[in-house]
Structure 1
Amino acid sequence: MTRPSLFFACLGYACEAARSAAKTIGADLVEASWKQFPDGEAYVRVAGAPEGVGVAVFTGFPEPSTRIVEGMLLIEALRGLGAASVVAAPLYLAYSRQDRRFLRGEPISIRAVLRALASAGAEALATIDIHKQYSLEWFPGPAANIDPSPVFAEALRPVVEEAELAYVIAPDKGALPRAKSLGEKLGLPFDHLEKHRDRVTGEITMKPKKLDAKGATIIIVDDIVSTGGTLAKAAKLLLDQGATRVYAAITHCLLVGNAVEKLEESGLEKLYCTNTVKPRWSKAEELDVGPLLARSVEGLIERLHGYEAEQQ
């Protein structure tokens, strides 16, 4: 049995990565149309008669609630067209930061979103660098979290080669696995920032737990930059501690509010982002995750249909 045919269906900005993914594996691409009714309801339509497994590619920013609903409608539309199965591919999966009940009475938002996507008709799911890997356990089917570090490593290699000393730093302990993944691909030491409170003044500062920033080129890595406050403070403090240059590799560059102004003032040399979200800063460089998405989708389809297993 051969692999079932597949096609990518996409919405809006997500079509950039979907187009690249489709090209990588020779699949068809359908760009869905969408609009918003005067009362705020979303509308989606997939033209033509695509056949095979459908991959619904969308992203969760801006206006995350609307984007999630559009993604659900896209999935349901593909089922209505008779897709053999549907893989949901939310490039940036909104609501992923609310992954537990921090306060009594709160929802586990990401669990609700994942269940909603499944209820709309998605049998598998692939996303880029979800906030916490364990959240995907709430999706009732095969799910893949795609590590973007290969595209970051390729883009940052020239920076590393020019530097006499370079480190990869996570802004907190929770992001340390991301620093480890990128550091290992670049052959660099990695660490995370620790907060230190002055016992006299109460002032909070941050510095690497083990490594010394002095004289080093620093690459800060994380999954999301939203208002930019944490990243800007980290960049400024590392420069104050003697770092020669500070770069950032952030998967989802939301850059809301005055985030750009904060980053401009921080001294950050450059921001590398994936094309899951459109960054709005002249010092931000978009990196394509389409090929990574394509390979992940192939693996999910194999799990759904077992075509390779039947060949053996």
Structure 2
Amino acid sequence: MEKNQLLSDSNRLRLFSGSANVPLAQEVSRYLGIDLAPMIRKRFADGELYVQIQESIRGADVYLLQPCCNPVNDHLMELMIVIDACRRASARQITAVIPYYGYARADRKTAGRESITAKLVANLFVQAGANRVLAMDLHSAQIQGYFDIPFDHVYGSPVILEYLASKNFRDIVVVSPDVGGVARARAFAKKLDDAPLAIIDKRRQDHNVAEVMNLIGNVRGKTAVLVDDMIDTAGTLTEGARLLRQEGARQIYACATHAVFSGDAVSRLQSGLFEEVIVTNTIPIPEKKQFPQLTVLSVANLIGEAIWRIHEESSVSSMFR
């Protein structure tokens, strides 16, 4: 069935954007060939958010695009309010499209008396009325198991891999910045013509504080590509890059899907350790956090294609085979 035919089927496909990343939502809407659905969003004097859908969505398949980026609590609450508004407006199915899933790092109990916020957020989405979730590059894949509704997990790596392939690197080695990211780095290396893999062993003393201890693998004279799901304070990446320099890496590239860029991240990333820092636009990057070594790739077509396949009831996982 042609896209135009399906989109005209009772005009069922609607795409809404929260306030967190409107430019990405606009790109996705252009890929799908539809306009963003109209919505009023304003705040009361005390900061409470008010949302009203501006057209009938009765019986429609609604997709709500909103990354839970900084300010995380505001964007998370906004998404839940929009989900609730769509549910009360009799949408047939509501899919939360979350390019960046907030609160994902607390995904298990490693000590006593601590919360599992990744599970809490999953419960909130379901209770708000989401029927399905589409997310990109979760901090850990196990988060999908916290949902009792359909969950589609897509990856930003195809656009990064395509970009790296265009550079025609020789003697490339993919580096995992920690042991927990080995599976991600291994999959990345396999798609880069089965490039060799190196692993940085570190000891984390506290949240957002990393101490690099050892390197497993050979990077001497090679182009090292550090791969992670997100760059937050960039402490892990910069400490890893210093170790790679000490071990003789010729060039160092950092790749991540989510550019969180908290604290001193920007100053660390432009300190001269990296030839290039490659991220995607799942999170909007303000001008003050941009720097010469930064390359931002768009995942709009990936998200748009995933939305299209969900709506067409075809396979999303086949996008990455």
Whether these two folds match at TM > 0.5 is yes
Match among 18, 40, 58 for residue 47 of structure 2: 40
Number of residue pairs matched by the alignment: 296
Is there any run of 5+ residues in structure 2 with no aligned partner, and where? 204-210, 316-321
Q: 1:79 aligns with which of 59, 62, 87?
A: 87
Q: Which one of the candidate residues 9, 19, 27 is aligned to 1:20?
A: 27
* CA-to-aligned-CA distance 1:89-129 (integer Å, 9 cap, x gap): 11111001100122212121111111111111110000110
Contact 1:232 1:266 in 2 (8 A): no
Task: Give the superposition deviation at 1:303.
Answer: 5.4
Aligned-residue identity in percent: 27
Mapped to 1, the partners of 2:83 and 2:272 lie a distance apart of 41
Q: CA RMSD in A?
A: 2.4
Q: Letter of the aligned partner of 1:54 in structure 2?
A: V
Deviation at 1:192, TM superposition (A): 4.0
Measure, in 1, the Cα distance between the counterparts of 2:274 and 2:42: 37
User: How far apart are residue 196 of structure 1 and its match?
Assistant: 7.2
Distance 1:115 1:236, change over 3 A: same
- Whichever residue aligns with residue 133 of structure 1, its letter is A
Which residue in the other structure is 2:296 paired with?
A: 286
CA distance in 2, matches of 1:31, 1:175: 40
Distance change in 2, residues 1:302/1:137 (3 Å)? farther
The counterpart of 1:89, out of the listed 94, 97, 116, is 97
Shift, 1:220, TM fit: 0.8
Q: In structure 2, what is the Cα distance between the partners aligned to 1:274 and 1:192?
A: 23
Residue correspondence of structure 1 range 60-139 to structure 2 within 5 A: 60-139=68-147
Q: For residues 282-301 of structure 1, give each alpha carbon's deviation from its aligned partner in whole angstroms, at most 9, with x where no partner exists.
A: 12222111222123234444
Cα deviations across residues 163-184 of structure 1 (Å, max 9, x unaligned)? 3311111111221222223222
* Match status 1:214 vs 2:240: no
Contact 1:87/1:297 (CA < 8 Å) preserved in 2? no
1:255 to 257, 261, 264: 261
The alpha-carbon deviation at position 131 of structure 1 amounts to 0.7
Q: Secondary structure at the match of 1:152?
A: helix
Q: With structure 2 as the length reference, what TM-score do the two structures score? A: 0.84
Does the C-alpha gap of structure 1 residues 145 and 196 become closer, same or farther in structure 2, counting only changes over 3 Å?
A: closer
Partners of 2:30 and 2:183 lie apart in 1 by 30
- Map Cα deviations across residues 236-271 of structure 1 (whole Å, 9 max, x no partner): 221222111111111111111111111222511111
Residue 271 of structure 1 corresponds to 277
Correspondence for 1:54 = 62
* Maintained 8 Å contact 1:152/1:182: no
Give the Å deviation of 1:61.
Answer: 1.2
Counterpart of 2:179?
173
Match for 1:20: what amino acid? E
Provide the C-alpha distance between the structure 1 equivalents of 2:258 and 2:52, rounded to a whole number of angstroms. 27
Cα pair 2:19 2:66 within 8 Å, conserved:
yes
Tell me what 1:158 maps to: 166
Letter in 2 for 1:141: I
8 A contact 1:87–1:123 mirrored in 2: yes
Larger RCO (alpha carbons 8 Å, 6+ apart) = 1
More moved, 76-85 vs 54-63: 76-85
**Of the candidates 293, 303, 306, which is equivalent to residue 296 of structure 1?**
306
Q: Tell me which residue corresponds to 1:309.
A: none
Say which SS state the counterpart of residue 24 (structure 2) adopts. Answer: helix
Residue by residue, what CA displacement relative to the aligned partner does 1:41-76 show, whole Å, maximum 9, x if unpaired?
Answer: 223333333462000100111111111100101111
Counterpart residue type for residue 103 of structure 1:
A
For residues 167-213 of structure 1, give each alpha carbon's deviation from its aligned partner in whole angstroms, at most 9, with x where no partner exists: 1111112212222232222214242423279xxxxx95332x23x11
State the alpha-carbon separation in 1 of the partners of residues 244 and 48 from structure 2: 46
Query: Would you say the 8 A contact 1:172–1:192 is kept in 2?
Result: no
* Larger mean Cα displacement after TM superposition, 142-151 or 177-186: 177-186
Counterparts in 2 of 1:121 and 1:302: CA distance versus 1, 3 Å: farther
Amino acid at match of 1:64: V
The change in CA–CA distance for 1:115 and 1:166 in structure 2 (over 3 A counts) is: same
1:196 and 1:138 map into 2 onto residues whose CA distance is 29
Kept in 2: contact 1:236–1:266 (CA 8 A): no
Match of 1:8 among 15, 33, 43: 15
Taking a change above 3 Å as real, the CA distance of residues 204 and 37 of structure 1, as seen in their structure-2 partners, is: same
Measure, in 1, the Cα distance between the counterparts of 2:27 and 2:237. 29
Counterpart AA for 2:33? G
Amino acid at match of 1:245: Q
